Amino acid sequence: MSNLNPNQFKSHMEWSAKDFADVFKPSEYGTNIERSSGKGHVEGDESNSVTKMVPISVVKRYREYDREGQQSHGSMSEETINNIANELKNGGVIKTPLSIYHSDAHNWGYLAEGHHRLIAAERAGLTHVPVYVGSVEHGVGEESRKEKGIGAPLHLTTNFSSIPGQKYIPPKVHPNHFAELR
Protein backbone atom coordinates (compact mmCIF):
# COMPACT_ATOMS: atom_id res chain seq x y z
CA MET A 1 0.00 0.00 0.00
CA SER A 2 1.00 3.62 -0.40
CA ASN A 3 3.38 5.44 1.89
CA LEU A 4 1.48 8.62 1.03
CA ASN A 5 -0.52 9.84 3.99
CA PRO A 6 -3.77 11.37 2.63
CA ASN A 7 -3.84 13.66 5.67
CA GLN A 8 -0.57 15.31 4.75
CA PHE A 9 -1.09 18.87 3.62
CA LYS A 10 1.45 18.75 0.84
CA SER A 11 0.97 20.93 -2.15
CA HIS A 12 0.76 18.84 -5.31
CA MET A 13 3.92 20.70 -6.37
CA GLU A 14 5.78 18.96 -3.51
CA TRP A 15 4.63 15.45 -4.43
CA SER A 16 7.12 13.01 -5.85
CA ALA A 17 6.42 10.88 -8.91
CA LYS A 18 5.78 7.97 -6.53
CA ASP A 19 3.20 10.04 -4.61
CA PHE A 20 1.31 10.71 -7.84
CA ALA A 21 1.61 7.08 -8.93
CA ASP A 22 0.19 5.89 -5.61
CA VAL A 23 -2.72 8.34 -5.59
CA PHE A 24 -3.67 7.85 -9.23
CA LYS A 25 -3.00 4.11 -9.40
CA PRO A 26 -5.59 2.45 -11.66
CA SER A 27 -7.94 -0.19 -10.29
CA GLU A 28 -8.04 -3.75 -11.59
CA TYR A 29 -10.44 -2.40 -14.25
CA GLY A 30 -7.84 0.11 -15.48
CA THR A 31 -9.91 3.00 -14.17
CA ASN A 32 -8.31 5.78 -12.17
CA ILE A 33 -9.90 5.42 -8.74
CA GLU A 34 -11.33 8.45 -6.99
CA ARG A 35 -10.29 8.31 -3.35
CA SER A 36 -11.66 9.75 -0.14
CA SER A 37 -9.50 12.00 1.96
CA GLY A 38 -10.62 10.25 5.10
CA LYS A 39 -14.19 9.00 5.40
CA GLY A 40 -16.19 8.44 2.19
CA HIS A 41 -14.82 4.99 1.35
CA VAL A 42 -16.19 1.63 2.49
CA GLU A 43 -14.97 0.76 5.99
CA GLY A 44 -12.08 -1.69 5.88
CA ASP A 45 -11.02 -0.73 2.33
CA GLU A 46 -7.39 0.29 2.72
CA SER A 47 -7.30 1.85 -0.75
CA ASN A 48 -9.78 4.56 0.36
CA SER A 49 -11.53 4.11 -2.99
CA VAL A 50 -14.85 5.85 -3.51
CA THR A 51 -15.21 4.30 -6.98
CA LYS A 52 -17.49 1.37 -7.77
CA MET A 53 -18.61 -0.39 -10.94
CA VAL A 54 -22.37 0.36 -11.13
CA PRO A 55 -24.81 -1.16 -13.66
CA ILE A 56 -25.46 1.15 -16.62
CA SER A 57 -29.21 0.62 -16.17
CA VAL A 58 -28.96 2.15 -12.69
CA VAL A 59 -26.74 5.08 -13.71
CA LYS A 60 -29.10 5.99 -16.58
CA ARG A 61 -31.79 6.93 -14.02
CA TYR A 62 -29.58 9.82 -12.91
CA ARG A 63 -28.93 11.41 -16.32
CA GLU A 64 -29.19 15.17 -16.38
CA TYR A 65 -28.84 15.47 -20.16
CA ASP A 66 -29.82 13.27 -23.08
CA ARG A 67 -26.71 13.43 -25.24
CA GLU A 68 -28.39 11.33 -27.94
CA GLY A 69 -31.52 13.46 -28.20
CA GLN A 70 -32.41 17.13 -28.20
CA GLN A 71 -29.74 17.98 -25.62
CA SER A 72 -26.88 16.62 -27.68
CA HIS A 73 -24.13 18.82 -29.03
CA GLY A 74 -25.07 17.70 -32.54
CA SER A 75 -22.40 15.95 -34.56
CA MET A 76 -19.82 16.71 -31.85
CA SER A 77 -21.70 14.54 -29.33
CA GLU A 78 -22.17 11.72 -31.81
CA GLU A 79 -18.51 11.81 -32.81
CA THR A 80 -17.38 11.85 -29.17
CA ILE A 81 -19.66 8.96 -28.25
CA ASN A 82 -18.56 6.90 -31.27
CA ASN A 83 -14.86 7.52 -30.57
CA ILE A 84 -15.21 6.42 -26.95
CA ALA A 85 -17.37 3.40 -27.89
CA ASN A 86 -14.82 2.28 -30.50
CA GLU A 87 -12.01 2.60 -27.98
CA LEU A 88 -13.97 0.53 -25.45
CA LYS A 89 -14.78 -2.13 -28.05
CA ASN A 90 -11.06 -2.40 -28.79
CA GLY A 91 -10.08 -3.12 -25.19
CA GLY A 92 -9.97 0.43 -23.84
CA VAL A 93 -11.34 1.39 -20.44
CA ILE A 94 -13.17 4.36 -18.96
CA LYS A 95 -10.28 6.01 -17.15
CA THR A 96 -12.24 8.76 -15.41
CA PRO A 97 -15.17 7.61 -13.26
CA LEU A 98 -18.59 9.11 -13.89
CA SER A 99 -19.75 11.59 -11.23
CA ILE A 100 -23.17 11.44 -9.64
CA TYR A 101 -23.81 14.50 -7.48
CA HIS A 102 -25.91 14.03 -4.36
CA SER A 103 -27.96 16.52 -2.36
CA ASP A 104 -28.65 15.23 1.13
CA ALA A 105 -31.12 18.05 1.77
CA HIS A 106 -33.28 16.81 -1.11
CA ASN A 107 -32.34 13.08 -1.09
CA TRP A 108 -31.67 13.52 -4.79
CA GLY A 109 -28.90 12.74 -7.22
CA TYR A 110 -28.02 13.45 -10.83
CA LEU A 111 -25.28 12.47 -13.25
CA ALA A 112 -23.07 15.55 -13.40
CA GLU A 113 -20.14 14.22 -15.44
CA GLY A 114 -20.00 11.33 -17.86
CA HIS A 115 -23.06 11.47 -20.13
CA HIS A 116 -21.03 10.70 -23.27
CA ARG A 117 -19.06 7.93 -21.54
CA LEU A 118 -22.29 6.35 -20.30
CA ILE A 119 -23.82 6.16 -23.78
CA ALA A 120 -20.54 4.98 -25.30
CA ALA A 121 -20.19 2.21 -22.71
CA GLU A 122 -23.70 0.98 -23.46
CA ARG A 123 -23.05 1.05 -27.22
CA ALA A 124 -19.82 -0.87 -26.66
CA GLY A 125 -21.76 -3.62 -24.89
CA LEU A 126 -20.55 -2.92 -21.36
CA THR A 127 -22.93 -3.57 -18.46
CA HIS A 128 -21.21 -1.50 -15.73
CA VAL A 129 -19.35 1.82 -15.51
CA PRO A 130 -17.07 3.27 -12.81
CA VAL A 131 -18.90 5.78 -10.60
CA TYR A 132 -18.28 7.91 -7.54
CA VAL A 133 -20.70 10.20 -5.73
CA GLY A 134 -19.91 13.83 -4.98
CA SER A 135 -21.72 15.70 -2.25
CA VAL A 136 -23.26 19.05 -3.16
CA GLU A 137 -24.92 21.17 -0.55
CA HIS A 138 -24.51 24.61 -2.05
CA GLY A 139 -28.21 24.69 -2.97
CA VAL A 140 -27.74 25.82 -6.56
CA GLY A 141 -30.21 23.93 -8.68
CA GLU A 142 -30.73 20.74 -6.67
CA GLU A 143 -34.30 21.58 -5.67
CA SER A 144 -35.09 22.69 -9.22
CA ARG A 145 -33.66 19.47 -10.67
CA LYS A 146 -35.81 17.44 -8.30
CA GLU A 147 -38.95 19.45 -9.19
CA LYS A 148 -38.26 18.92 -12.91
CA GLY A 149 -37.53 15.21 -12.44
CA ILE A 150 -33.91 15.56 -13.53
CA GLY A 151 -32.07 12.77 -11.77
CA ALA A 152 -33.56 10.34 -9.29
CA PRO A 153 -33.91 9.70 -5.55
CA LEU A 154 -30.61 9.03 -3.80
CA HIS A 155 -30.58 8.32 -0.07
CA LEU A 156 -27.39 8.37 1.96
CA THR A 157 -27.46 5.51 4.47
CA THR A 158 -24.33 6.45 6.46
CA ASN A 159 -23.70 9.31 8.87
CA PHE A 160 -19.97 9.94 8.83
CA SER A 161 -19.98 12.31 11.82
CA SER A 162 -18.26 11.27 15.01
CA ILE A 163 -20.25 13.92 16.91
CA PRO A 164 -23.69 12.76 18.10
CA GLY A 165 -26.54 14.83 16.67
CA GLN A 166 -24.43 16.29 13.87
CA LYS A 167 -24.19 15.20 10.26
CA TYR A 168 -21.04 15.15 8.17
CA ILE A 169 -20.89 14.15 4.50
CA PRO A 170 -17.48 13.84 2.83
CA PRO A 171 -17.05 15.58 -0.54
CA LYS A 172 -16.63 12.18 -2.27
CA VAL A 173 -18.60 9.12 -1.18
CA HIS A 174 -18.50 5.46 -2.27
CA PRO A 175 -21.74 4.37 -4.02
CA ASN A 176 -22.26 1.58 -1.45
CA HIS A 177 -23.31 4.27 1.05
CA PHE A 178 -26.49 4.86 -1.02
CA ALA A 179 -29.34 2.34 -1.03
CA GLU A 180 -30.10 2.96 -4.71
CA LEU A 181 -26.53 2.29 -5.91
CA ARG A 182 -25.75 -0.98 -4.08
Q: What is the pLDDT of residues 113-127, one digit of tens each?
A: 999 899 999 999 999
The CATH classification number of 46-181 equals 3.90.1530
Q: Tell me the pLDDT band of 139, cut-offs 50, 70 and 90.
A: low
Residue 155 neighbours by CB under 8 Å, 6+ apart: 107, 178, 179, 180
Query: Which pLDDT belongs to residue 67?
Result: 55
CA quadruple 83, 86, 87, 92: dihedral sign: positive
Mean pLDDT of the chain: 79
Q: What's the CA gap between 22 and 174, in Å, rounded?
A: 19
Per residue in 48-78, pLDDT tens? 889 999 999 999 999 987 756 555 555 567 8
Amino acid at 79: E
Question: Helix 115-123 to helix 75-89 angle, to the nearest 10 degrees?
Answer: 50
Q: Where are the domains of the chain?
A: 46-181
The residues that bridge with 132 in the sheet, in sequence order, are 99
3-7, 27-31, 78-82: the lowest-pLDDT one: 3-7
Query: What is the pTM for the complete model shown?
Result: 0.78
Q: What is the mean pLDDT of residues 12-20?
A: 41
